[in-house]
Amino acid sequence: MKLVKLLIVLFVLPTFAQQGGMWIPSLLKGMNETEMKNLGMKMSVEDIYSVNHSSLKDAVPHFNGGCTSEIISPKGLLLTNHHCGFDAIQNHSTVEHDYLANGFWAMKMEDELPNKDLVVTFMVSINDVTAQVLDGVASITSEAEKQKKIQENIAKVTASFPKESWQENKVRTFFEGNQYILFVTETFKDVRLVGAPPSSIGKFGSDTDNWVWPRHTGDFSMFRIYADKNNRPAEYSKDNVPYTPKHFLPVSLDGIKEDDFTMVFGYPGKTQEYLPSFAVAQIVKELNPAKIEIRDAALKVQDGFMRKDNAIKIQYASKYASVANYWKKWIGESQGLKKSNAIALKQNFEKDFQQKVTASGKQNEYGNLLPEFEKYYTEITPYAVSRDYFLEVVAKNTELLSLGYKLYQLEQVYNTKGEQSFNDRKENLIKAQEDFYREFNAKVDEKVFEQLIALYGNKAPKQFLPSTLINADYKKLTSTLYSQSKLVDYAKFKELLKGDAKSVLKKLNKDKGYLFVKSLADNYTKNVAPKYDEINLKIAALQRTYMNAQLELYPNTRIFPDANSTLRVTYGKVNGYEPKDATYYKPVTYLEGMMEKYIPGDYEFDIPKKLIELYDAKDYGPYAENGKLPICFIGTNHTTGGNSGSPAIDAQGNLIGLNFDRVWEGTMSDIHYDPAICRNVMVDMRYVLFVIDKFAGAKHLVNEMKLVHPKKK
């Protein structure tokens, strides 16, 4: 009995501890394949990625550069998150047809709605081009020259690598510049909206439930890819036809249970798993607190207005959600990094690293890495903090300043590129600002400005502030700018930009709002950015060497390349977790739990009448499990921003869910993945099918899919 237990512990512990990682789909053979099979996978890695025959990767395109999507029918039907399709749904919404509030379903193909500027990109092949990109680089000593040569080599291989005329070549760096991969891609430009549930389903729980488990959000929307008569990418045309995919995902009706194998396939954006302890300390102690405080102030002001005024609520809903998303993430991230002792763990690793360096006689190559990191991170901190203040206050969270900053860049364009470029950019800016002003309220922004500019003046490193900001009367400054600047109104803004470059710049340089932005931006570009960039380049070079050293000195460790918006595989299992002492979170939520959260009329927790009726009648069709309708589930898949909309795939390659978030306690996974508490959140495909079929009455879409029962063979 004892022996059996010991064997179980020995067998189970390592596989559990080994989870995490975002792997390159063409390189799964070996260690990953073994792990995946141990976790229960029944496919071969060629079923996931193959250049010779169709494979899962042919069904998983990048959705508009920021999210992931998957094809679920032979006619190019595409699934992604509601929050990924949000802009498209919003753009088609009017007061009479409010698709955000009521949902939208095309009952036949002619009713599907085209979307200007919405694209999906397939990854056709993965090709290692490290040798070509690093050709002639090793002998160059200056880091800047090195980077220049690398860029030239990338341009060369991008231009010469064989591809079809409708395809593109893109080179991306892996392992911080130790590996380069060229992707051949295909981008489809005619992508039409097919359906979306109302926000009370697609965004249920909204900002309160964001980054939180247990969750009950039906975060999905549907599109269709259209192609020309040859099944190739084409601009929108009414003559285009539904795309015939090389592969589409069958949908499993059997659902999941705890410990089932899951794999998430998608385009994770950015992680920083190999930072030295000094960098993590900077994030926890300096950068996150500053950014959180700024956004906290901005959100409080906006929320105050939104609660009192319905028109402002509509105007600011999308902006508020976007600012709140990372505000909330950073709070969770800082807490998680502290709770998991990430800095101390990194320091322990660094001790071990240093010993390994000495033991392997690599003192010359790697012995100075950590002391140098420490030196440069100490040196860069005030610049990094100033930079974040500038970016958060000026470029992101104060609308007057962010618009002013765009005009500042316009003036730079005139100075560096001349009149023609100035005019082109000016025209684009005028057009683009129409949307800006539609969602702009000067009263709200004025209050945000007053708070944020005081934080900037009081808390950002003093040595990099223009004198106008130190000990200023922020109230007076605010009322002067907002009563006198022409930037607060679209008509005045257009007036300001009328005429040739010289007269526009003359007018701009008399506007109080513009002059204020200019003083901040000049100061930033002269006193912060150059030094920040200079030290950052050195840090990047150290990080490249540090990465190389880890690959060399820890050959048997699972080291995966940080996310870089390229297609990756992450795998794990359906699993609950302990968020705090004496508490266990189960891995599956049900419609019952959604009903427990129901607050009639609330903008986050209202539930559509039809859904309540279906619940009362327990009318779930074939989508229930023991009389209960599952909604969301969590697993140990290592995901990040960009993985939204990624398919959750079962052991046989069928679609079981749609990734859309992570749990609060595990949001630090971008910097430090802890398998005990990092979980990704997925919406169950059975709930998606239920909403389409029973709730929306769009059964014809379900009929287009291939529904399977992998567990009942």
User: Site residues (CB under 6 A) for ligand ARG?
Assistant: 83, 206-207, 210-211, 321, 325, 641, 644, 661
Torsion on CA atoms 26, 30, 35, 36, rounded to nearest 10: 40
**Residue 317 near residue 438 (C-beta atoms within 8 A):** no
Residue 195 partner contact from ligand ARG, ligand ASP, none using kind-dependent CB cut-offs of 5 to 8 Å: none
DSSP notation for 99-118? HHHH-EE-SSGGGPEE-TT-
**In the complex, least distance from residue 218 CB atom to ligand ASP, rounded to whole angstroms:** 15
Residue of the chain from 640, 647, 685, 695 that contacts ligand ASP (CB under 6 A): 640
CB of 564 to ligand ASP, least distance (A): 14
Residue type, 47: D
CB nearer ligand ASP, residue 100 or residue 157 = 100
98 is catalytic: no
CA distance 232 to 241: 10
User: Which stretch in 13-21, 122-130, 181-189, 640-648 sits in contact with ligand ASP by CB under 6 A?
Assistant: 640-648
Kindly state the smallest distance separating residue 642's Cβ from ligand ASP, in Å.
5
Cβ-based nearer residue to ligand ARG, 70 or 207: 207
Please identify which residue in 103, 382, 641, 666 interacts with ligand ASP, judged by CB under 6 A. 641
Is residue 665 close enough to count as binding ligand ASP by CB under 6 A? no
147 contacts 81 by C-beta, under 8 angstroms = no
Strand 241-242 to strand 221-227: parallel, antiparallel, or no bridges (unpaired)?
Answer: antiparallel
Measure the CA–CA gap between 380 and 281, rounded to whole angstroms.
13
Query: What are the residues whose beta carbons fall under 8 Å from the beta carbon of 515, sequence distance 6 or more?
Result: 509
564 counts as binding ligand ASP under rule CB under 6 A:
no
Residue whose structure tokens are 């385009």: 267
- Report if residue 662 touches ligand ASP, rule: CB under 6 A: yes
At residue 196's C-alpha, the angle toward residues 435 and 639, to 5°, is 85
**Is 381 one of the binding residues for ligand ASP (CB under 6 A)?**
no
Q: Report, in Å, the least distance between residue 614 CB and ligand ASP.
A: 27
Using CA atoms, how far apart are residues 127 and 182, in angstroms rounded to an integer?
5
Please report whether residue 660 would count as binding ligand ASP according to CB under 6 A.
yes
- Mark whether 219 is an active-site residue: yes
Between 112 and 207, whose beta carbon lies closer to ligand ARG? 207
> Which listed option, ligand ASP, ligand ARG, none, makes contact with residue 199 (CB within 5 to 8 Å by class)?
none
Which tokens sit at 414?
A: 């005139």
Residue 670 interacts with, from ligand ASP, ligand ARG, none (CB under 5-8 Å by kind): none
Is 661 a residue that touches ligand ASP (CB under 6 A)?
Answer: yes
Q: Which of 385, 379, 382 is nearest to 535 (CA)?
A: 379
The DSSP bridge partners found for residue 120 are 63, 188
Of the residues 207, 209, 219, 511, only one is catalytic, namely 219
Q: Are 197 and 574 in contact (CB under 8 A)?
A: no
**Residue 411 binds to ligand ASP (criterion: CB under 6 A):** no
657 lies in the site for ligand ASP, by CB under 6 A? no
Give the Å distances, CA to CA, from 590 to 214, 586, 631, 635, 664: 10, 11, 5, 16, 20
Please choose, out of 161-169, 366-374, 608-616, 660-668, the segment that lies near ligand ASP by the rule CB under 6 A. Answer: 660-668
Nearest to 124 by CA among 567, 579, 676, 633: 567
Write down the H helix ranges in 554-600.
591-597
The listed partner (ligand ARG, ligand ASP, none) that binds 643, CB under 5 to 8 Å by sort, is: ligand ASP
264 or 448, CB closer to ligand ASP? 264
- 653: how many CB neighbours lie within 10 A of its CB? 23
Task: Identify the CA nearest to 173 among candidates 150, 204, 203.
Answer: 150
Annotated active-site residue 644? The verdict is yes
Whose CA is closest to 538, among 671, 372, 384?
A: 372
642 binds, among ligand ASP, ligand ARG, none (CB under 5 to 8 A by kind): ligand ASP
Out of 315, 451, 643, 654, the only residue in the binding site for ligand ASP (CB under 6 A) is 643
Of 623 and 660, nearer to ligand ASP (C-beta) is: 660
Please calculate the CA angle 153-159-163 and round it to the nearest 5 degrees.
130
Give the nearer residue to ligand ASP in terms of CB position, either 388 or 661: 661
**Do 513 and 485 meet the contact criterion of CB atoms below 8 Å apart?**
yes
Task: Please answer whether residues 649 and 706 qualify as being in contact, where contact means their C-beta atoms are separated by less than 8 angstroms.
Answer: no
- Which one, 64 or 302, has the nearer CB to ligand ASP? 64
Going by C-alpha positions, the residue among 491, 485, 483 that lies closest to residue 512 is 485
**Residue 211 binding: pick among ligand ARG, ligand ASP, none (C-beta 5-8 Å cut-off by kind):** ligand ARG
User: Which residue in 55, 58, 69, 83 is the catalytic one?
Assistant: 83
- From the list ligand ASP, ligand ARG, none, partner contacted by residue 589 (C-beta under 5 to 8 A by kind): none
Which member of 55, 386, 644, 646 is catalytic? 644
Q: Is 630 in the site for ligand ASP (CB under 6 A)?
A: no
Q: Which is nearer to ligand ARG, 86 or 422 (CB)?
A: 86
277 binds ligand ASP (CB under 6 A): no
Least separation in angstroms between CB 660 and ligand ASP: 6
Residue 642 touches ligand ASP, criterion: CB under 6 A: yes
CB-based contact 640:670 (threshold 8 Å): yes
Nearer to ligand ASP by C-beta: 233 or 641? 641
CB nearer ligand ASP, residue 106 or residue 688: 688
Nearest to ligand ARG of 205, 561 (CB atom): 205
Let me know: does 436 contact 442? Beta carbons within 8 Å: no
Q: How far is the CB of 567 from ligand ASP (least distance, A)?
A: 14
Q: Shortest approach of ligand ARG to residue 585 CB, angstroms?
A: 17
How does DSSP classify residue 694? I
Q: How far is the CB of 644 from ligand ARG (least distance, A)?
A: 5
Residue 639 contact, options ligand ARG, ligand ASP, none, Cβ 5-8 Å cut-off depending on partner type: ligand ASP
The DSSP bridge pattern shows strands 251-252 and 707-708 to be parallel
How far is CA 597 from each of CA 203, 604, 617, rounded to the nearest angstrom? 13, 10, 19
d(CA 482, CA 494): 17
Q: Determine how many CB atoms are found less than 10 A away from the CB of residue 652.
A: 17
How far apart are alpha carbons 188 and 613 in whole angstroms? 40
Residue positions annotated with a catalytic role: 83, 219, 644
Residues that bind ligand ASP (CB under 6 A): 639-644, 660-662
